[in-house]
Structure 1
Amino acid sequence: MKKKKNIGIVAHDNRKKDIMEWVAFNWKELRQHDLICTGTTGKLVEDALKEKCEEHGEVPPTVTRLKSGPLGGDQQLGAMICEGKVDILIFFWDPMQPQPHDVDVKALLRITVLYNIPTASNRSTADFMVTSELFHEEYEPILKDYRSYITRDVDME
C-alpha cells in the first residue's frame, strides 16, 4: 500500500446522509487519496469534496464512479480489491433494510476479509481509520498464503 491510497466508498440509500457528513468532515484527509465509489454515492462524494476543496482553494481528489451497487457496482469494487486496486473500504451499509443485492454485499465484505483490506462499516470505525498514522503512510498488509488451497487435490468421483 503506497502513501496515496485507493479508497472505496459505498453507502446504502439510508446511509448516504451519514457518508456525506463523514466525507465533509474528513475532506482534508480524503483529498490526499484517490476515491472509488459506487453509483449515486460517487456523485454525492464528488460534489461534497468539490465544494469543500473549492471553499479552501484546494484541488479535489480523483473520484472514480462505478455502477450502482444493485447494478453490479459492489461486484466491480470486489474485483478491484482482488486485483490489488483498492487499499481501504469505507462501506456504510444499512443493517435495518433488506437489500435486493444482499448476496453482492456479503461477497464484497467477504473479499475484504480474504484480501485483508481495512474496512469500516460505520462512522466510528471510519473515524479511527482516517486518524490512524498509517492512513497517510506506506503499509504492507500481511496476506494469508492460499497456495495450498489453490493446488489442493480435488476428488472428481
Structure 2
Amino acid sequence: MKIALIAHDKKKQDLVDFSIAYRGIFEKHELFATGTTGLKIMEATGLTITRFKSGPLGGDQEIGSLIAKNEMDAVFFFRDPLTAQSHEPDITALVRLCDVYNIPLATNMGTAEILIHGLERGDFTWRKIVHDQS
C-alpha cells in the first residue's frame, strides 16, 4: 500500500512517535511524506520515505495529485486544529480529495490507531481491487 505521512509543526513529534511505535507495519509499505515531516520520521526510524515539498510550498498538493490519480491508499495527516495555517485551502483540498476518492484519512492519533491496526490486519485489500480496475 502507498501511505502518505503529513503533520503540522505542533504535531510532527506525535507523528514521529507514532511512526516509531508502528515502524514494523510501516516498513511493509511504500511511504510518502511532506518535507520536514518525512525527514524527521526517516531520522527517527530509518524508514525509506519519498519526500515531497513542505506543505506550504506545495507538498500537500503533490500528495493530493497522487490521490486524484488513485495512486495513494491511505493518509495519516496529524493536523493542528488550534493553529491557523497559511496554506489552509490546500489542506481543505487534500481532505476533500480523500473523501472524493474514498481514501482512508486519519487526522489524529485516535483514528490513526484504528487505521494502522486495520492496515496490519489486511483490511485494505479492497484498495487492491480498486487498483486492478483502473
Unaligned runs of 5+ in 1: 51-59, 144-157
Question: What is the Cα deviation at residue 45 of structure 1?
Answer: 1.3
Q: 1:90 aligns with which of 76, 88, 94?
A: 76
Matching residue of 1:134: 122
Matching residue of 2:44: 48
Q: Would you tell me which structure has more helix in proportion to its own residues?
A: 2
Q: Secondary structure at the match of 2:125?
A: coil
Contact between 1:8 and 1:88, CA under 8 Å: does it hold in 2? Answer: yes
Query: What amino acid is the match of 2:57?
Result: L
Deviations 1:111-147 (A, max 9, x none): 0000000000011111111112235x5224898xxxx
Unaligned runs of 5+ in 2: none
Aligned-CA RMSD value: 1.6
TM-score, normalised to structure 1, is 0.77
| Counterpart-to-counterpart distance in 2, 1:30 and 1:68 | 21
Contact between 1:37 and 1:63, CA under 8 Å: does it hold in 2? Answer: yes
Contact between 1:116 and 1:142, CA under 8 Å: does it hold in 2? Answer: no
Q: 2:13 aligns with which of 10, 14, 17?
A: 17
Question: What is the Cα deviation at residue 71 of structure 1?
Answer: 0.2
| Counterpart-to-counterpart distance in 2, 1:138 and 1:116 | 14
Computing the radius of gyration over CA atoms, which structure comes out larger, 1 or 2? 1
Contact between 1:116 and 1:141, CA under 8 Å: does it hold in 2? Answer: no
TM-score, normalised to structure 2, is 0.90
How many residue pairs get matched? 128
Contact between 1:38 and 1:69, CA under 8 Å: does it hold in 2? Answer: yes
